[in-house]
């Protein structure tokens, strides 16, 4: 399910509450949130076996009229920079769209990359064959004693040289295309890594939530719990990698606590979006 990104903006806004609201005792919810933050952090590191990956922090806050919010930050950017340096030039994502002046490529980037490499090999063969023809005709032209025959050969040589120029230009363009699509293909590989990390984090989060009635009991019936996974969403040219956000109603958590819903079913009934 999807949920309006306006909600994320609400979470990070300054909340003005009345004097009676400030009198509410939030010490117990805060205590439970602190405990659950440590539980999540420990669980992530114990259960998620991804080389060099770690959770940097699990922060919590109580949002007036909403409920509890947990923000999970990881070392994903450092991890990607270490394993996939090309992601540091993600702005090249914009370049490949203008390579052929045909707009965004609809085909999968890896498939297109293979096609371009095959095209490059064909062009190389054509260039080699054409150069042999030119060399052969130049030799014939030098040896020819007949002016009419010599002119005819030279005319063919000039025609083939024009073909060679066009071939070289096309070959250079294909080489640029290959370089750009290679970057896009590798970026998609790193995006799969982000997806994999998010999937494991959110699944582990629900396993812990469905086993923690003490935390859920701190929410009012109309309140919710939100998990924000920083920088684990899709790439945006204007803002970098989005956060992935999951919003869970107390009723859903109660059903999961009681066994009416499995963690997987609870996740499907939750609201999720990127921001």
pLDDT tens-place string over residues 219-273: 999 999 999 999 999 887 777 889 999 999 999 999 999 999 999 999 999 999 9
- Which pair of structure tokens corresponds to residue 231? 């920088």
- Which pair of structure tokens corresponds to residue 46? 């114990």
Task: Give residue 230's Cα distance to chain centre.
Answer: 12
User: Which residue in the block uniquely carries the two structure tokens 């939100």?
Assistant: 226
The arrangement of strands across the sheet holding 55-63 comes to 55-63, 67-74, 224-229, 244-249, 271-274
Count the neighbouring beta carbons within 10 Å of the beta carbon of residue 192: 10
266 in Cβ contact with 246 (< 8 Å): no
Mean pLDDT to the nearest integer, 42-57: 87
- Which pair of structure tokens corresponds to residue 104? 């965004």
Q: What percent of the chain has pLDDT over 90?
A: 51
d(CA 32, CA 227): 16
d(CA 40, CA 211): 12
Q: Is the pLDDT of residue 88 over 50?
A: no
pTM for the model: 0.58
- Tell me how far apart the terminal alpha carbons of the chain are, to the nearest angstrom: 15
Q: What percent of the chain has pLDDT over 70?
A: 77
pLDDT at position 32 is: 95
263 in Cβ contact with 245 (< 8 Å): no
């Amino acid at each position: 399910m999807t949920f309006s990104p306006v909600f994320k903006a609400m979470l990070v806004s300054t909340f003005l509450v009345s004097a009676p609201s400030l009198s509410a005792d939030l010490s117990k919810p805060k205590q439970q949130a602190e405990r659950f933050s440590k539980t999540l952090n420990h669980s992530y590191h114990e259960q998620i076996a991804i080389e060099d990956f770690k959770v940097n922090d699990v922060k919590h806050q109580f949002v007036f009229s909403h409920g509890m919010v947990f923000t999970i930050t990881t070392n994903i950017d450092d991890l990607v920079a270490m394993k996939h340096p090309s992601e540091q030039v993600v702005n090249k994502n914009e370049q490949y769209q203008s390579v052929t002046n045909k707009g965004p490529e609809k085909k999968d980037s890896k498939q297109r990359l293979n096609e371009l490499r095959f095209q490059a090999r064909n062009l190389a063969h054509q260039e080699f064959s054409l150069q042999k023809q030119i060399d052969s005709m130049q030799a014939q032209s030098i040896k020819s004693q007949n002016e009419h025959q010599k002119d005819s050969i030279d005319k063919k040589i000039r025609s083939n040289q024009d073909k060679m120029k066009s071939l070289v230009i096309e070959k250079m363009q294909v080489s640029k295309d290959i370089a750009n699509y290679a970057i896009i293909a590798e970026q998609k590989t790193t995006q799969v890594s982000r997806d994999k990390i998010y999937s494991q984090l959110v699944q582990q989060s629900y396993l812990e939530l469905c086993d923690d009635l003490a935390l859920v009991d701190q929410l009012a019936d109309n309140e919710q719990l939100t998990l924000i996974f920083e920088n684990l969403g899709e790439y945006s040219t204007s803002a970098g990698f989005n956060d992935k956000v999951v919003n869970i109603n107390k009723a859903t958590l109660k059903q999961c606590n009681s066994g009416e819903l499995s963690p997987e079913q609870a996740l499907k009934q939750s609201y999720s979006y990127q921001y």
